[in-house]
């Protein structure tokens, strides 16, 4: 029984810390999605660059000891990768919603065409399929003509999900305490 109590105490302690972090990240994503995107890009590039520097240091230490390794090319490629993340992440992120929007639009058109081809069946009403196709076309157009704001909206939704998750974790921790 003592082990089980320790487990639940640990769970509650880390749940509170995790919930606080989720609340901070959630609010920041919800209120400042552009800043959160920049922070995410910079942290990712910094993470890759950090490991590139570690590999370079390891390569130079191994070179002094006359050992062969692949740390030098790996470290250089990681530093180049970090630079590419900083330079190309925003254009790539802007291109993804554009491509997704085109595919949604084409899929919506296909749904509408399918709905009209199913009119030969008496039991199948085409209206829901047509509405679904129209919604897909509208979402596709929004993604095509407003890609960066779509990413910011996705970050806001992510922030709201983090807040919801934190609130649920807090309620769970309180229920376990009782």
Q: Name the residue among 151, 144, 150, 159 with its Cα closest to residue 41.
A: 151
How does DSSP classify residue 119? Answer: G
> CA–CA separation, 40 vs 151, rounded Å?
13
> CA–CA separation, 137 vs 35, rounded Å?
30
Residue whose structure tokens are 């050992």: 67
Mean pLDDT across 83-105: 88
Q: For residue 52, with 0-12 CB atoms within 10 Å meaning exposed, 13-18 middle and 19 or more buried, which class applies? A: buried
Q: Which residue has the higher pLDDT, 6 or 71?
A: 71
Q: What is the pLDDT of residue 45?
A: 94
How does DSSP classify residue 143? Answer: H
pLDDT at 32 over 80: yes
CB 166 within 8 Å of CB 22: yes
Q: How crowded is the C-beta side of 58, counted as CA atoms within 13 Å?
A: 15
Q: Which helix (H) or strand (E) holds 95?
A: helix 71-117
Q: What is the pLDDT of residue 11?
A: 61
Q: Name the residue among 126, 125, 122 with its Cα closest to residue 134.
A: 126
CB 102 within 8 Å of CB 144: yes
Domain borders along the chain are 21-177
The C-alpha angle with vertex 150 and arms to 145 and 154, in degrees rounded to 5, equals 165
> CA–CA separation, 169 vs 174, rounded Å?
9
Q: Which residue has the higher pLDDT, 116 or 124?
A: 116
Structure tokens that stand for 53 in this block:
């520097």
Mean pLDDT across 38-46: 91
Mean pLDDT across 130-159: 88
Mean pLDDT across 10-30: 79
State the chain's mean pLDDT as an integer.
83
Q: What is the pLDDT of residue 13?
A: 66
Indicate the pTM of the whole model. 0.64
């Amino acid at each position: 029984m003592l082990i089980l109590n320790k487990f639940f105490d640990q769970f509650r302690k880390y749940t509170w810390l995790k919930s606080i972090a989720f609340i901070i990240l959630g609010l920041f994503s919800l209120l400042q999605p552009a800043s959160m995107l920049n922070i995410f890009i910079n942290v990712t590039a910094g993470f890759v660059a950090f490991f590139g520097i570690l590999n370079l240091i390891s390569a130079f230490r191994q070179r002094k000891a006359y050992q062969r390794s692949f740390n030098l090319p790996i470290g250089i490629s990681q530093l180049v990768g970090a630079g590419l993340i900083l330079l190309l992440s925003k254009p790539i992120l802007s291109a993804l919603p554009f491509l997704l929007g085109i595919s949604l639009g084409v899929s919506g058109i296909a749904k509408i065409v399918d709905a009209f081809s199913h009119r030969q069946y008496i039991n199948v009403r085409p209206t829901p399929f047509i509405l679904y196709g129209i919604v897909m076309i509208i979402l596709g157009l929004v993604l095509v003509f407003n890609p960066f704001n779509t990413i910011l909206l996705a970050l806001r939704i992510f922030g709201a999900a983090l807040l919801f998750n934190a609130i649920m974790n807090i309620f769970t921790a309180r229920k376990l305490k009782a």
